[in-house]
Structure 1
Amino acid sequence: MKTASGDQRILCLDKHAKHPCLVGFGLSRAESFADQIAHEEAVALQRGEDFDPDMRAAQLYGFIRTSFDESGRFVLPDHLGEQAAIGDALYFHGGGSSFTIWSPEVLFEMGPGWDSAKATCRALMAEAAAKGKRK
């Protein structure tokens, strides 16, 4: 993540625009937002759909910047955690130029397209529980 933020320990976080989770990415991803908005607008026009570039820009550029330490730990702002119903557990799911952060309970309610992520999350939770019992 550090290399995706110009060698700074900066993590960008926001509520995901489509899913009930958070999204995280490096500062470099924001450099492509103008092109993304232009592409989405062109696609909407081809389909005869309405598109509000100002609203989309507000969605994309509304992220917060937070720092992380050498171990990758960061403080999740309460207002973001609330938007994604984050409780005591988190599941991080990689996804190319970004990653998502889920409340396991919310993830488990997602449709079958998320079965692999759900299975991984369950396995990691079982592993953490087993480690906790050994201590």
Structure 2
Amino acid sequence: MLAGCEGYVVSRGRYQGDGIGLVDDKGRVAIPNALRATLAANAPKADGKNGGTIVVGPHQNPVNKCLVAYDPGYLDILAEQLDRREAAFTGPDGEFDYNIKRRAAAGEAVPFDGSGRFIMPAFPRFYAGIGEHAFFFGVFDYIEIWDPKTLIETESMAANVKAACRFYMMQKGIAL
């Protein structure tokens, strides 16, 4: 069961794993194998063929200059979490910081093929500063997608995540 979603029985895979993807000039990138299987299971194509849909947008916390990616089924869970947050934090004057929902609603659904390739939407890619490489990291409910240099420079980032990013970039012959 997801934290904050009491009453929901969730039978969905959790995103765990990481990897680096080469981003081509059209913004095409492949989801690493460790994450692709969960995404495909959570977002199967109606015709049973490989591939599906992934939602990609800026992270809702502006401190994290990265993208989040998830299957369309997570939208209902995210909306429920935000509705609960709105109910809990609406002021006595009836006002709520609607920027919280605006940041979370900034995703774009795009198809991915059987190899996990998808075209990263232009604005989210620009927002996160993703160039030639994209670092993917599963955080259970969704996948974070980072520009490697930005991730390393994020002071609040966990040391193990930074080490994983450095490791994959080192394998590509790139020092961060």
Whether contact under 8 Å (2:108, 2:121) holds in the other structure is no
Report how far residue 56 of structure 1 moved. Answer: 3.7
Equivalent in 41, 47, 54 of residue 11 of structure 1: 54
Q: TM-score, normalised by structure 1?
A: 0.82
Cα RMSD (Å): 2.3
- In structure 2, distance between residues paired with 1:52 and 1:65: 25
Aligned residue number for residue 164 of structure 2: 120
Structure with a larger share of its residues in helix: 1
Aligned residue number for residue 17 of structure 2: none
Report how far residue 127 of structure 1 moved. Answer: 1.3
Q: TM-score, normalised by structure 2?
A: 0.64
Q: Which SS does the other structure have where 2:119 is aligned?
A: coil
Q: Which SS does the other structure have where 1:96 is aligned?
A: coil
**Could you list the runs of 5+ residues in structure 1 that have no partner in the other structure?**
131-135
Count of residues in Structure 1 that have an aligned counterpart in Structure 2: 127
Report how far residue 45 of structure 1 moved. Answer: 4.2
* Greater shift in the superposed pair: 31-40 or 119-128: 31-40
* Greater shift in the superposed pair: 81-90 or 58-67: 58-67
Moved over 4 A (4+): none
Task: Name the amino acid aligned to 2:78.
Answer: F
Cα 1:64/1:24, change in 2 over 3 Å:
same
Q: Which SS does the other structure have where 1:37 is aligned?
A: helix
Report how far residue 124 of structure 1 moved. Answer: 0.8
Answer 1 or 2: higher relative contact order, Cα 8 Å, separation at least 6: 2
- In structure 2, distance between residues paired with 1:32 and 1:102: 23
Structure with a larger share of its residues in strand: 2
Equivalent in 81, 106, 110 of residue 36 of structure 1: 81
